[in-house]
Structure 1
Amino acid sequence: MDILDRQLKQRKELVHQSLRLTPEEVSLLEQRTLASQTTSPSRSKRYVFRACAIIGVAAVAAILLWASPLTLLPPGTPSQLVSPPVTAPDPQQTPAPALPEAPKQTVAWQTEADKLALYRVFALGMTYDEAKALFPELGELQPLGGIESLGEDGLQEAFMPVALGDEQVQLTLSFEHGFLYAARYWVESKDEQKIMQEKARLEAFYAKDFGSPEEETIEAGTSSTWSPFFGLGLTKNWDGRYILIWGLQGGEPGFEELYRDRAFTVQEAIELALSEQPEFPAHPGETKQVRVEGIPETLATTSLRTKVKLQTRDSYLVTFERMWTIRYDGNRSITIPSYWTYQVTEGEVKLVDSYVVDQAVMEYLRGAASAQSS
C-alpha cells in the first residue's frame, strides 16, 4: 500500500468517526471514490482524482470536527462561543447610582367637560413653566392688564384660546412672581339672552360636583361662588357688553375675607396640612431654598413649595413639593421632585399620594461628591 492509499484510509476512518457512518455507508462512499478513479484514462489522471478525493474527504472531516463542539452545547446558549469572560467590577470604580426619573405629567383636556373642570388641572402655586409644559399653546407672560408697573411688581398673565362647543373663549392664567394665583375663562357678548343661557349652563355643570352656588349682587352684576377657590361673575359693561368670567380665584385676599365665615378656605386647608409637613411654606406663592447637608451647592440645591387644588366644595388637595436640582456634566442640570399630597377637609388631613426620591437622590449625590473630591 503506497503513501496515498494509507492517507486515504486514515481520512476515511476519520470521516467515519466524525459522521458515525455505518459499515454499509462507508462501503458505498469507498465505491463512489474508486469509481471516480477508474474513469480516469491514465495513471497520472487517477493520481489527480485520488488527490482531489483525499482533499475533499479531508475538508468534510475538518468542517465536521470544527462543528461537532457546537452539538455538545446545551440548547439555548449560543452566545457562549462569542461572549467575553465577565469580570467582577472594581468596587472603587463603581459609578454612582443612577438618578431616578421625574414622573410624567399628563392632563386630560380633550372633551368640553375636561376643559370646564380646570380646577383639576391648574393648582395655586404652580409655575408658568409647568403650565407651559402642559399646554405649549399658552402665550408668553406679559404685564397684568398690559400695565408695565404691575409687571415690574411681579404681576403677570398669559392667555390661551380654548374651544368650548361652538365658542372660542379665552383662558387667562394670572401669576405673581411666577406662581399661579388665578385661572379664569372669559366670555363677552352684547346678547343678554345668550350670555344668561351660558351662565345657567355653567351653574348646572358645576352643581354636579359642588352643589348649588351661593349667589349675591355685586357692582354692575352678580357673583356665584362654590368655594373661596372657585366662582363665577357676570357683569355689564358701560358700552352694553356682558362679561362672564369663571374659574379659580384663589390667592386674592378680597375673596377669602368675603367668604371666610361661610366656607372652608384655601389658607385654612394649608394650615391644617402643615401639621404633617411643618417645614414647607404656608402660602402657595412662596418657595424656601434649603441647603443639602454635606453636598456642595455646585452639585445640588433643593427648594420647598406648596400647591393647592380644589377637590370638592369643602375639600382641597394640598401638595408639598421638594424640588431637587442636580447639576452634572458642567452646565447641565435636571430637576426631580419629591411630593406628598394630602386630602384636607375641616376635620381630616389624609395622605392620598406621594412620590419620594430623597434617598435615591442622596445616594447619587454622595457618590458624585466622593468622585469630585478624589
Structure 2
Amino acid sequence: MPAFYRELLDTDLSVLDGLADAWQNTHTRTEKLPKRMMDEVLKPLRDKGYWEGAAAPHAWSLIDDIARQLAAANKVAKALAGVIDDAVADLKVIRRDLKDAVRRTRDQGLAVDASGRVSGYITAEQHIPMGQRVYSARYAELAQEEINGIVRRGITADQSLSMALMADVGLGAWFNTGPRHSSIDTTDRISVDEYNAYHRALSGKDPYPEAKDDSPYGLGLDYVTGIGPRHKDFTNGDRMADLMQSMESMQDIRKQTVEQWEATGDKEGQAAFSISASGKVAAGKKLLTEDLPAIVTNDPDHLGEAFMGSYNVDYVVRGTDPDGSLVVEYTLNNTTSSESALHYIGYYDWLKYAEIADGPMTSAVSQTVTWTERIPGKTS
C-alpha cells in the first residue's frame, strides 16, 4: 500500500490555499508594475542620452531585459496561482473520495489499518462460515482496489502540481517568459527530456549534462584494456540511454511497470528481464540468433541486451498524463566483469577472485543508465 495514503489524509491543504492566495496577491500587486517601471524608470533611463559609444547598445539591451523580466514575473505569478488553486481543488475532492471509500469499507465490516491496507472481517475468522470467508476475501480485494485507485489519483495530482510549477518557473536564471500551465491538467505538454531535467535539478544534479556517445563497444574495450573510468553515468540524450530504451525486452519491462502501478499504487518498483527464463536452450538460441548477430551488425534493437544480459531495472512513476499515459524514470545498474562476461554459459565462484586486481579483463567496470520515457498506461 503506498505511503501516500497517510499523506493524503493528514496533509494540511490550507497551506497550499495560502500559497495560492499569496501568488494571486503577487500577481495583482505587480500587474501594473511593468508599465509603470517602463514609463517612470526604464524609458527615461534609455532616452535621456546617458549612454555613449560602445556601452550604449549593451545598456539598452539590459534595460530591455529588465522590462521583459518584470512582465515575465507577473505572468509566472498568475500561472502559479492557477496551478496551485487547481491542485488544491483536486486534492480536496480526492481526499473526500478516499474518506468515503474507507467509511464504506468499514461499514461492510472490513478493517482498514493506518497505512490503508484492507483486511478481512473484523469478526474472528474461525467464527465465519467457509462460504462467507470467500466473500470476505473478495470484498477486501475490491475495497483495496478502490482505495489504491483513489490514492493513485492523489499521487498523480501531487506529481502534476510539482511538475507544472517547475515548468512554469523554469530552470534558467531569468523568469520564464512563457509559462504554459495554469492548471495541473496540461502536464502532457511537458516533454520527457524536461521531466528528466527537472528531476535531475531537484536531485542537485546538472539538469542538462553534456551528451555522451559511449557505445557498448567502447565500454567493453574499457573493460578489456583496463583503461578509462571504472564507472560511468548516462541519461536522456546519451547513446547508451537510447540503446536501453530500444531493447526489445523493454516492452515486457514496461508491461510489468504498468501492471504493478495499477495493482499496488506504489510509484516505485522493480522489473526484471532474464535471458534464461525460458531455459538454457532458449538462452543459447538467443545468443546465436540475436545477440551475436547484433554485435556484428550493430543492431540497436538487440545490441543493448547483448551487452546487458539479464538485468533488473528500478523505476519511479514520475507522472500520469490526462490520457492515462505514464511518465516513468528507469534506472539500470550494470557491471561488466569476468562473471558477467560469461552470463550465457554459467557463473563460477573462482571468477570472483579475478576482479581483485586492476588491469585488463580483471577490473570490473560499471554503468548507471537513468532515463525518462512515456509509456501507454492501462487506460490510455
Query: TM-score with structure 1 length normalisation?
Result: 0.22
Higher share in strand: 1
More helix by share: 2
Larger relative contact order (C-alpha < 8 A, sep ≥ 6)?
A: 2
* TM-score, structure 2 normalization: 0.22
